[in-house]
């Protein structure tokens, strides 16, 4: 008999060293499977070639399972189900102890390998007795002969989840702890079992335990090939995401911004109804980064988020995170991933009213993002017009109740704001490839501003210039932002010509003034921000004609001197940031 683990109450356990199970179809019993126990004495009498391809055809009966998991959620119920079906369980280390403490009989993997766990658990399952049981093709006579000759028992079910490297990375564990949480044996077994999914089923997610149980119940203890193929696909995807997380972490550790090989991966959170348009399929995936925002937020109420909702809400929340909640309240209203109004003020209610005033027509059906806890007064004001989504770090109970009066309005609580300075990678697909770049982490408070005109900005102008620059960073290029008293008054987004963006911002401001019955345009005495340099003075002159008194831009044009001279002639103050904020 194979040796028992200390404290095990298992009795009459079949030897894992001298026997194993093989399956054949009985031609006289259509579809039924018969199980035969083979041992070493029968090897000489066994005509391996005669067994042929009829052996181990789908569906495959489960007779032995190897279980080695880090996340033990739902494991006891699964293991008891397997034992009830007379499926032998092989296990390792902490998983074996966990099962035994629950009174579940297990075979120690060391009983198969004849090697103890060693090197602080780094070596447990890396052995032919394990991998042979997973990789052997049951219908291949040569493989069967090798199994019989070397006492390798087949493993029909592998249940493995990996060391929690991603969790350790999220909580910023020390380097040595991260290294120790890089799983080696787990991915090796997963890949082997997935490769041999014609004979073996591999489960890598506790969420799939109920599906496995149903499959075995519906097929008399067997699994069908479609089930195993689907499980294999998920297994390969899991190890790919795991390895991608490790590789990207190491790239950051060594300062490699563009490694020769780059991998990205995520886990499906939601299958969306469709993409940007109804004929496009779409899904939302969570990455190991787990950045605070729309993907990780709690949805308290409202309809399911659409692809466009998610895209617009992400743009809104990233923008409003530019404003430190300890210093000011800030609100951004977004439509089609561009802001139609942004403001900062002592209270969220004031900020919302000022943001809405910038373009109340475009705000209809928009996304509202706030940088502070949503309060009741702000909630009441927001629901006065049709709004698709509200996102905030948190919300007062009264505010949640108020939003609840609008059943379809989606309320998301992100728990925190994303850090605009934190590193990260953004990507987009291009034909035949992926285009990646570092996240735009330039924050106006960290920049050395250079006043380049004869007149320097006043303190109030400088405050508005910094405000407008924070907003311009999140407007599609070419971007021009007009602002006054901590609020946008006109935004020109996504135009091919910077002059046209200037004109559009002025026109929007004037239209809003007329629509609200104001006696004078909003643009009088405003400041302007441009996401990139003015290649000619014309764009700056367009802003001056509308009433601008100060301008902020990156600088760096070969015609900077001409632009500075034009600003001086108009009496404008102009500041160079030295940083461009293209956004496409």
Contact 78, 170 (CB under 8 A): no
Q: For the segment 490-529, what is each residue's pLDDT rounded down to a tens digit?
A: 999 989 988 888 888 888 888 777 766 665 555 567 899 9
303 is a catalytic site residue: no
Instruction: Identify the CA nearest to 332 among candidates 549, 441, 487, 129.
Output: 487
Q: Residue 518: its pLDDT value, please?
A: 64
Mean pLDDT, the chain, rounded, equals 86
Averaged pLDDT, 104-110:
86
pLDDT-derived band of residue 267, with 50, 70 and 90 as boundaries? confident
Residue 442 burial by Cβ neighbours in a 10 Å radius (0-12, 13-18, 19+): middle
Contact 91, 109 (CB under 8 A): yes
Q: Residue 131: its pLDDT value, please?
A: 83
Which range of 59-68, 248-257, 337-346 scores highest in mean pLDDT? It is 337-346
Cα torsion angle, 305, 308, 311, 313, sign: negative
Domain with CATH 3.40.140.20 in the chain: 289-413, 449-576
Whole-angstrom distance, CA of residue 532 vs CA of residue 554: 6
Q: Which residue has the higher pLDDT, 340 or 52?
A: 340
Instruction: Identify the CA nearest to 382 among candidates 396, 397, 398, 369.
Output: 369
Measured in degrees and rounded to the nearest 5, phi and psi for residue 459 equal -55, -40
CATH for the stretch 449-576: 3.40.140.20
Domain with CATH 3.40.50.1380 in the chain: 19-246
pTM beyond 0.75: yes
Q: For the segment 522-534, what is each residue's pLDDT rounded down to a tens digit?
A: 556 789 999 999 9
Q: Which residue has the higher pLDDT, 20 or 483?
A: 483
Averaged pLDDT, 225-243:
92
Q: For the segment 311-357, what is each residue's pLDDT rounded down to a tens digit?
A: 999 999 999 999 999 999 999 999 999 999 999 999 999 999 999 99
Q: For the segment 148-184, what is each residue's pLDDT rounded down to a tens digit?
A: 888 888 899 999 998 888 888 888 888 888 888 888 8
Instruction: Identify the CA nearest to 18 among candidates 46, 34, 37.
Output: 37
Averaged pLDDT, 389-396:
98
Instruction: Identify the CA nearest to 494 among candidates 508, 511, 484, 514.
Output: 508
Q: Long-range contacts for 387-395 (Cβ within 8 Å, ≥24 apart)?
A: 388/309, 388/312, 389/302, 389/305, 389/309, 389/312, 389/313, 389/316, 391/294, 391/297, 391/313, 391/316, 391/317, 391/367, 393/325, 393/417, 395/300
Cα torsion angle, 252, 255, 257, 261, sign: negative
Q: For the segment 452-477, what is each residue's pLDDT rounded down to a tens digit?
A: 999 999 999 999 999 999 999 999 99
Q: Which of 195, 230, 303, 406 is the catalytic position? A: 195
Q: Which residue has the higher pLDDT, 450 or 2?
A: 450
131 is a catalytic site residue: no
Q: Which residue has the higher pLDDT, 202 or 249?
A: 202
Q: Residue 36: its pLDDT value, please?
A: 42
Q: Which of 25, 72, 303, 336 is the catalytic position? A: 336
Q: Residue 33: its pLDDT value, please?
A: 41
Q: From the DSSP assignment, how many helices (H) and strands (E) are in the chain?
A: 19, 25
Q: Residue 289: its pLDDT value, please?
A: 76
CATH fold of 289-413: Cytidine Deaminase; domain 2 (3.40.140)
Residue 180 burial by Cβ neighbours in a 10 Å radius (0-12, 13-18, 19+): middle
User: Which CATH architecture best describes the domain 19-246?
Assistant: 3-Layer(aba) Sandwich (3.40)
Q: Residue 42: its pLDDT value, please?
A: 44
């Amino acid at each position: 008999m194979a040796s028992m683990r200390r404290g095990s109450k298992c009795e009459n356990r079949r030897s894992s060293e001298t026997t194993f199970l093989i399956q054949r179809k009985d031609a006289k019993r259509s579809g039924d499977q018969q199980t035969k126990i083979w041992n070493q004495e029968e090897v000489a009498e066994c005509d391996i070639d005669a067994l042929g391809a009829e052996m181990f055809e789908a569906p495959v009966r489960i007779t032995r399972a190897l279980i080695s998991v880090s996340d033990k959620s739902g494991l006891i119920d699964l293991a008891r189900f397997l034992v009830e079906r007379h499926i032998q369980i092989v296990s390792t280390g902490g998983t074996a102890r966990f099962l035994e403490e629950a009174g579940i009989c297990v075979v120690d993997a060391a009983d198969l390998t004849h090697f103890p766990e060693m090197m602080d658990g780094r070596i447990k399952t890396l052995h032919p007795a394990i991998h042979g049981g997973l990789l052997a093709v049951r219908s291949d006579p040569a493989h069967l002969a090798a199994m019989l000759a070397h006492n390798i028992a087949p493993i029909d079910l592998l249940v493995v989840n990996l060391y929690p490297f991603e969790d350790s990375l999220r909580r910023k564990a020390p380097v040595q702890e991260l290294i120790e949480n890089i799983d080696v044996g787990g991915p090796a077994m997963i890949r082997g079992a997935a490769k041999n999914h014609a004979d073996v089923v591999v489960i890598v997610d506790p969420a799939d335990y109920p599906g496995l149980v149903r499959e075995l119940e519906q097929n008399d203890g067997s699994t069908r090939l479609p089930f195993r193929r689907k499980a294999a696909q998920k297994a390969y995807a899991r190890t790919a995401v795991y390895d991608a997380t490790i590789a990207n972490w190491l790239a950051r550790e060594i300062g490699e911004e563009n490694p020769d090989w780059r991998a990205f991966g995520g886990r499906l959170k939601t299958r969306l109804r469709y993409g940007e348009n109804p004929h496009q399929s779409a899904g939302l995936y969570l990455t190991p980064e787990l950045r605070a925002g729309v993907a990780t937020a709690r949805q308290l109420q409202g309809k399911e988020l659409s692809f466009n909702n998610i895209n617009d809400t992400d743009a809104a929340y990233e923008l409003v995170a530019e404003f430190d909640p300890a210093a000011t309240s800030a609100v951004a209203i977004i439509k089609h991933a561009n802001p139609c109004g942004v403001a900062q003020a002592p209270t969220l209610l004031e900020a919302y009213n000022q943001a809405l005033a910038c373009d109340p027509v475009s705000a209809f059906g928009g996304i509202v993002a706030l940088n502070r806890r949503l309060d009741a007064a702000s909630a009441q004001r927001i629901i006065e017009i049709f709004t698709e989504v509200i996102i905030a770090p948190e919300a007062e109970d009264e505010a949640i109740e108020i939003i609840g009066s609008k059943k379809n309005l989606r309320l998301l609580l992100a728990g925190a704001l994303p850090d605009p300075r934190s590193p990260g990678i953004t990507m987009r697909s291009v034909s035949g490839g992926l285009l990646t770049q570092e996240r735009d982490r330039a924050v106006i408070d960290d920049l050395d501003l250079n006043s380049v005109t004869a007149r320097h900005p006043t303190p109030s102008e400088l405050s508005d210039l910094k405000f407008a620059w924070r907003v311009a960073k999140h407007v599609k290029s070419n971007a021009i932002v007009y602002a006054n008293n901590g609020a946008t008054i006109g935004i020109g987004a996504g135009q091919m010509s910077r002059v046209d963006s200037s004109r559009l911002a002025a026109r929007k401001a004037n239209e809003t003034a007329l629509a609200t019955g104001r006696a004078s345009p909003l643009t009088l005495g405003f400041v302007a921000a441009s996401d990139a340099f003015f290649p000619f003075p014309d764009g700056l002159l367009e802003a001056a004609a509308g009433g601008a008194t100060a301008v902020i831009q990156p600088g760096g044009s070969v015609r900077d001197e001409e632009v500075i001279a034009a600003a001086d002639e108009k009496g404008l103050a102009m500041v160079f940031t030295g940083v461009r904020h293209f956004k496409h």
